[in-house]
């Protein structure tokens, strides 16, 4: 009988030791040779800087910044999921919506400087052929933003605006 107690003790010690060993192996950082190395002189890879926006978009962005910088934080090309949070009791519907809007980047976001809450999103409207309707994803994004209480303003890329016009379109004009 004393062998039975000793056997159980040794078996438990062996199992605990194996668990600690496995935990140590899994938590240990990867050695340097396990990581992919990429040097600036690598011949297989090419990394270049990308423009945040086109020249037309930059012109409009600068007008928006001039019009709104005294009132809001002016942010550019934010992912929509930085601006809204989606909750739904139907998990499948929430996941489908998230898959639809996840790749969307908002052109310009105006956030309140104190609360850091998004107040307005400016969407750059590209010239579309006559009769062509906006993409379904764009309609869904507009619906989500409006449901979150965020104002959506569209500005055409091919139209010229003055700072005063942008102020009025954003609803920042002071009442006289």
Q: Could you tell me the CATH number of the domain that includes residue 145? A: 3.40.1350
- From 17-21, 63-67, 79-83, the region with the lowest mean pLDDT: 17-21
The predicted structure's pLDDT at residue 39: 61
Taking residue 98's Cβ as centre, other Cβ atoms within 10 Å add up to 12
Residue 140 domain-assigned (yes or no): yes
Are residues 69 and 10 part of one domain? no
Beta bridge partners of 154: 123
Are residues 164 and 82 part of one domain? yes
Are residues 89 and 20 part of one domain? no
Are residues 87 and 156 part of one domain? yes
Residue 42 domain-assigned (yes or no): no
The predicted structure's pLDDT at residue 72: 94
Residue 46 domain-assigned (yes or no): no
Residue 38 domain-assigned (yes or no): no
Query: What number is the average pLDDT over the span 49-62?
Result: 91
What string of H, E and C letters represents the secondary structure of the chain? CHHHHHHHHHHHHHHHHHHHHHHHHHHCCCCHHHCCCCCCCCCCCCCCCCCCCCHHHHHHHHHHHHHHCCCCEEEEEEEHHHCCCCCCCCHHHHHHHHHHHCCCEEEEEEECCCCCCEEEEEEEECCCCCCCCCCHHHHHHHHHHHHCCCEEEEEECCCCCCHHHHHHHCCCCCCC
Mean model confidence pLDDT for the chain: 84
28-47 pLDDT, tens digit per residue, is: 666 665 556 656 566 777 88
The total number of structural domains in the chain stands at 2
Residue 70 domain-assigned (yes or no): yes
Residue 157 domain-assigned (yes or no): yes
Are residues 136 and 78 part of one domain? yes
110-163 pLDDT, tens digit per residue, is: 999 999 999 999 999 887 666 556 678 888 999 999 999 999 999 999 899 999
The predicted structure's pLDDT at residue 147: 92
Are residues 147 and 90 part of one domain? yes
Are residues 153 and 96 part of one domain? yes
Residue 110 domain-assigned (yes or no): yes
Query: What number is the average pLDDT over the span 50-60?
Result: 91
Boundaries of domain holding 138: 55-169
């Amino acid at each position: 009988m004393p062998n039975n107690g000793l056997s159980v003790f040794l078996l438990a010690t062996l199992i605990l030791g194996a668990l600690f060993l496995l935990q140590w192996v899994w938590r240990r950082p990867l050695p340097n040779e396990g990581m992919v190395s990429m040097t600036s002189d690598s011949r297989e890879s090419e990394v270049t800087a990308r423009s945040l926006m086109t020249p037309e978009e930059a012109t409009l962005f600068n007008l928006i910044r001039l019009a709104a910088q005294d009132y809001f934080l002016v942010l550019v090309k934010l992912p929509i999921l930085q601006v809204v949070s989606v909750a739904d009791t139907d998990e499948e519907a929430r996941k489908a919506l998230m898959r639809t809007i996840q790749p969307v980047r908002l052109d310009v976001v105006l956030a309140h400087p104190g609360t850091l809450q998004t107040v307005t999103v400016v969407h750059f409207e590209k010239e579309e052929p006559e009769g062509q309707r906006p993409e379904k994803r764009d309609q869904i994004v507009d619906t989500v933003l409006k449901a979150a209480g965020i104002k959506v303003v569209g500005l055409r890329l091919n139209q010229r605006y003055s700072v005063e016009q942008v102020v009025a379109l954003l609803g920042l004009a002071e009442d006289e």
